[in-house]
A and B are shown apart, each in its own frame.
Chain A
Amino acid sequence: QVQLVESGGGVVQPGRSLRLSCAASGLTFRNYGMDWVRQAPGKGLEWVALIWYDGSNKYYADSVKGRFTISRDNSKNTLYLQMNSLRAEDTAVYYCASQRGDPGYFDYWGQGTLVTVSS
């Protein structure tokens, strides 16, 4: 079965950086676009970023553009999110999700990793 496992979350001070990882198994990773979606505590879902199946194109929500970078290593079946210049409002559970179709929808989700930005 498909498994997406996020890691790398934790507590970080404002202005610092953090890198999240998402290890995929049970799917042909190199064939899928991948997304990051976040959810602030007690709040709704927010789409963060998308990377095409081959890494050739990347897209970001305005709220993270210029600060976050999505990338992937298809040889390791792993998705990344490099988060720089973190702000308190970036505090959230970060989910990775596989995207079916282009445009498409988010068909498999990881369990999420919590990022807390606080001094």
Chain B
Amino acid sequence: QSALTQPPSASGSPGQSVTISCTGTNSDVGGYNYVSWYQQHPGKAPKVMIYEVSKRPSGVPDRFSGSKSGDTASLTVSGLQAEDEADYYCSSYAGSNNYVFGTGTKVTVL
């Protein structure tokens, strides 16, 4: 199972929006609505930000939103804040009780 493809980096100024893409195949992202997104600060464990493509767990700001079109999912962070600077990973169900993660995107708040 190959990792999902994400851009290595993305950036924006405070208050702006940034969108991260996550491209897979019709065997993972395109085949199921089980895409999730995780935020990871340096030296910390990942934290789920979005699940089932576009749902937010309680406690996650509504500045975080998710969507999917075909084999590509996207995470948008609106109204960027300094604390949003982190690595972001997508993940998708890949069938047969297997999961695959994306390559990761480092978001920088300028």
Binding site for B on A (CB under 8 A): 35, 37, 44-47, 50, 57, 59, 61-62, 95, 100-101, 103-107, 109-112
Binding site for A on B (CB under 8 A): 1, 3, 32, 34, 36, 38, 40, 45-48, 51-52, 57, 89, 91, 93, 96-104
B97 close to A57 (CB less than 8 A): yes
A25 CB to nearest chain B CB (Å): 16
Question: How far is A45 from B38 in the complex, measured between Cα atoms in Å?
Answer: 10
B101 close to A44 (CB less than 8 A): yes
A105 close to B103 (CB less than 8 A): no
A109 close to B45 (CB less than 8 A): yes
Closest B residue to A62 using CB positions: B1
| B103 cross-chain contacts in A, Cβ below 8 A | 44
A110 close to B34 (CB less than 8 A): no
A16 CB to nearest chain B CB (Å): 27
| A100 cross-chain contacts in B, Cβ below 8 A | 51
| A111 cross-chain contacts in B, Cβ below 8 A | 45
A44 close to B3 (CB less than 8 A): yes
